[in-house]
Structure 1
Amino acid sequence: MSGDGDPFTRAEHDTRATVAAPWWATAAPLQRQQALIARLVSLPDRSWWMYGAWARWYRWHPADGRWFPCSPPRGTMVRRSARPAQPGLSPPPIPAEILPAGPDFAYDHGPPLALAGRPVSGALLYRLRSVIQEAALAPPMDYPLGWSYFLHGTPSTIAATWSAMLWCASVPVFDPDLDSGGSPGLLGLWEPYLAQPFDDHGRLRWLVPPLLRTVIGLYAERMRAGRADAAGQIVRCMVMTAQALRDDPRFKVRASALLSIIEPLQANPALDHRSLPYGDEAMEREWTSRCPPALGTTLFADTAPGERFQMAVYDLAEALRPMCGDPESTAFTEPRYAAVALLAADMAGYRPDLAAPIGNWLDPELRGLLSDVIGQPGHGLRRLWPSRGRLPEDFRPADTDTALKALSAAAAVDFAWCRLAHGIPIPPDGFTVPDAFAAALDALAAKPATGEASEV
């Protein structure tokens, strides 16, 4: 075991070393459980922590008896009070689903990133413009589209490129100010085909990503109509769109996942024939089965919205770490508490009645905290809430990189809990917290440069 750092740091280091060992890939779940028991960490509050699947920490609390993804404590004193599993302690059983698989540790997904801060490159726009121009040449009679979102007569190939773009976006929140330079930006490439202009009531432009089943539907409709040639062209449009987007880090991970699913159809058009008679759900199972294990989290929004929400809250806590103060100080705010406070801010302004059902996906401590912050006007964590569109003075990002990551993670949480609540719509004006981070990003970007510009 590494002798450096606190028990959490050592447990993470040693778990990574164990998962990277050659025997891990073929080990049975029981063998993996036995290997990781010694890597568990306990705190005086009787909670247990484990570094597990998807390279995330999981928390077990005796009040509930279940494991939940949970960003670990960052305060120095709390981390030092942790103890590794030792003889005489009785750690809880480790469920197989939170055991690292191996590939989930190997792929660096990076933080979720919205389409803000900087525009997409001119090279990417050029490639996408060529793809869309080719898609627009498809005869509408051969590629019928019944979506009211697009103008009548728009071929489904255009919808295929649009759906692929939105599905591939890590966080499909767009800064309309990036498109104000005269030439059309990313979304402007599709604007000639839309039935209505973009509805820009809020600071940011929110576009709800389609479910994978919706993307599949465009392809499946042509297959069932006996037009395998047209179905192949729809897949080709999606592939070219994802290939163009993959060079941008804000699309890279999900574009890679989509390509792994649909590129095999170009080599073998009959790949999904056996599932066609059983409906789009059966075909969705075929598609998701082709996604590599390392990219499995990209499918959570489609197949496991509860787990997607948990991961989003985790990511928000990690994004807020630089803003939470000195971990050595008694004034330090645990990032996971800050994340729940900001979740509460957006829920309180839109659907406070959903605190209980949404909170059920959080561990017992954070679940209670969410209800308390929403229900108690004098709660201390409300000091982190934005006021008049601005973050409090002592809770603002210090640089554009931190601001963008926090904006993106907060927006991802809002998408996730709205999806979890049976797909309730995003409010027309967006949400308060991402808007506040957008304002902070604007203010930081307007400052004269004092050093090297941060890269997304």
Structure 2
Amino acid sequence: MTAVPPWDAFTAAEAEVRAMVADPRWQGLSVPDRAHVLAVRILVTPAGDRWLFGAHARWHLHDPADGRWHLAPPPRGTRARQVGHPAGVLPDSVVPPGHDFHAEPGSTQSFVGPDVPAHLTEQVRQLVRGAGLKSELDYPLTAFGEIFASDVPSTVAAVWGTVMWCAYAPAFDGNERLITVFGEYLRRSLPGDEWVRWLPAPPLLNLVTLVAERLRAGQPRAALRLAAIMADTAQILLLDTRFRPRALALLTMVEPILRRPGLDDLHEDDEAVRRAWLERCPARLCRALHVETDSEAHFSHALYDLVEALSFVPDPRRAAAGFLADLSDSKGALPGRLDHRLRLAYEELRLAGRTGTSAAESTEPEGFPVRTGGVSTAPAPVLEVAPPDRGSAAAVLGAAYATGLAWGRLTGAKVPERGLAGQAALVRRMVHERDDNHTGLT
């Protein structure tokens, strides 16, 4: 007889809200009416925390100090009861409009651990091979100049830019085949070391510039070719859930150009074209575009992913605080963006002088701690996590790196080229097991 999983208040409440939002009548309700039916389904734990399953099909935790609701994964398995809550004090931002429940599920895994599927890599290789045959005179490099040599055609950059923009967390095994495909075109070695390439996430504007510059130069066919390369690359990337949400979003932005050449001709500058691309993306994919449209929300969702990826540890928030401790926060802006439970864990580390750590200059080229007289000079990670399997480790690493990139996007803080301390420590747990054939992604 199949074992029945134990009843969980959070799982039950989530299922109930999902059913309500999926009901066609939800669209006919006013925002206050939606808030009312959500408010009566708020859960409270013995610790006094109030939880609401709401916008973006995610949980929100009420901060008793200031009344804000923070995106935060719940403590599943914890005893909780349903309580009433004044619907009028629920902000509109936590009330789901409906389309936000249709977001494409993706994976938080990095590309350290589970490899990119071989058939995907081979298709990208063929695209790059064809793109590399184009002339740089017809396709000048107008973006990604820090990555590629000046004589590389922008067709190659269009493939690269699409891969990097679509990646949830562009941290790759140092010898990941998808990255080595571009080796002959690179201007210099990629940031990172032998084990991991900690790559920057390019803005959508870089991709837009490749196309818009050709339009301004009076080369509409070249512009169309670049857009087609981006679409072809995104179509291939749909095969891997670490790329899929943003790949879908990018397809919705560039495919109209292919069906209606000249669609973007009237826009005056690159930023105007970028806005036109973003406006073409349907609302159901809006979370994939937070990286472009809402840096605050993007950071909050990445942090949610990080805490959720750490669900295997007894105290996920304390573990997440350990990764947050690596971030540069000279202005003290981070604590105010955390839910009160996570903020408490982070403040404990700050008071102990264990925040603001970095692995920037603490590792040798092969990625291990520098040792002087047999003693490691690398800063000790705040908390060593031990994921139960490769997939879990890749999910934590990806979410942690995505959080670091999101923080940089929000504040201008730089991510060290050799990664942050907690992430580097996690890599050392995985490094001798890389290069496998695992393709199952969480």
TM-score normalised per structure 2 = 0.85
- Paired position in structure 1 for 2:111: 115
List aligned pairs for 1:93-172, cutoff 5 A: 93-146=89-142, 147-172=145-170
Distance 1:126 1:378 in 2: 44
- Paired position in structure 1 for 2:235: 243
Change (3 A) 1:343 1:141: same
Higher helix share: 1
- Paired position in structure 2 for 1:70: 72
- Paired position in structure 1 for 2:24: 22
Q: How far did residue 198 of structure 1 move?
A: 2.3
Change (3 A) 1:243 1:454: closer
- Paired position in structure 1 for 2:366: none
List aligned pairs for 1:178-189, cutoff 5 A: 178-179=175-176, 185-189=177-181
Distance 1:455 1:441 in 2: 17
Residue 333 of structure 2: SS of its match in structure 1? helix
Q: How far did residue 378 of structure 1 move?
A: 8.5
Distance 1:342 1:362 in 2: 13
Conservation of the 8 A alpha-carbon contact between 1:46 and 1:62: no
Change (3 A) 1:362 1:393: closer
Distance 2:242 2:222 in 1: 30
Relative to structure 2, which stretch is displaced further, 403-412 or 104-113? 104-113
Residue 322 of structure 1: SS of its match in structure 2? coil
List aligned pairs for 1:330-369, cutoff 5 A: 333=315, 335-344=316-325, 346-347=326-327, 351-354=328-331, 356-369=332-345
Deviation readout 1:201-222 (Å, 9 max, x if unpaired): 3742111111111211111111
Change (3 A) 1:378 1:224: closer
Q: What amino acid maps onto 2:43 in structure 1? A: V
**1:213 pairs with one of 205, 213, 220:** 205
Change (3 A) 1:5 1:128: same
Distance 1:310 1:24 in 2: 26
Conservation of the 8 A alpha-carbon contact between 1:400 and 1:445: no
- Paired position in structure 2 for 1:433: 422
Deviation readout 1:268-301 (Å, 9 max, x if unpaired): 1232234x12x33322222112222222111111
Change (3 A) 1:288 1:371: same
Change (3 A) 1:232 1:108: closer
Distance 2:64 2:120 in 1: 51
Q: What amino acid maps onto 2:411 in structure 1? A: A
Distance 2:137 2:235 in 1: 27
Residue 257 of structure 1 pairs with residue 233 of structure 2: no
Q: What amino acid maps onto 1:127 in structure 2? A: Q
Q: How far did residue 230 of structure 1 move?
A: 1.2
Residue 49 of structure 1: SS of its match in structure 2? strand
Q: How far did residue 371 of structure 1 move?
A: 3.1
Conservation of the 8 A alpha-carbon contact between 1:46 and 1:61: no
For structure 1, the 5+ residue unaligned runs are 180-184, 325-332, 380-385
- Paired position in structure 2 for 1:174: 172
Distance 1:377 1:19 in 2: 45
Conservation of the 8 A alpha-carbon contact between 1:390 and 1:439: no
Distance 2:52 2:7 in 1: 16
Conservation of the 8 A alpha-carbon contact between 2:32 and 2:88: no
Residue 150 of structure 2: SS of its match in structure 1? coil
Residue 51 of structure 2: SS of its match in structure 1? strand
Q: What amino acid maps onto 2:334 in structure 1? A: I
Percentage identity across paired residues of the two chains: 35
Residue 374 of structure 1 pairs with residue 376 of structure 2: no
**2:410 pairs with one of 416, 420, 439:** 420
Residue 282 of structure 1 pairs with residue 272 of structure 2: yes
Q: How far did residue 238 of structure 1 move?
A: 0.8
TM-score normalised per structure 1 = 0.82
Conservation of the 8 A alpha-carbon contact between 1:71 and 1:318: yes
Residue 191 of structure 1 pairs with residue 180 of structure 2: no
Distance 1:164 1:272 in 2: 19
Q: How far did residue 315 of structure 1 move?
A: 0.8
Deviation readout 1:60-94 (Å, 9 max, x if unpaired): 223112221112234x5xx32x33233xx546622
Conservation of the 8 A alpha-carbon contact between 1:223 and 1:231: yes
Q: What amino acid maps onto 2:151 in structure 1? A: G
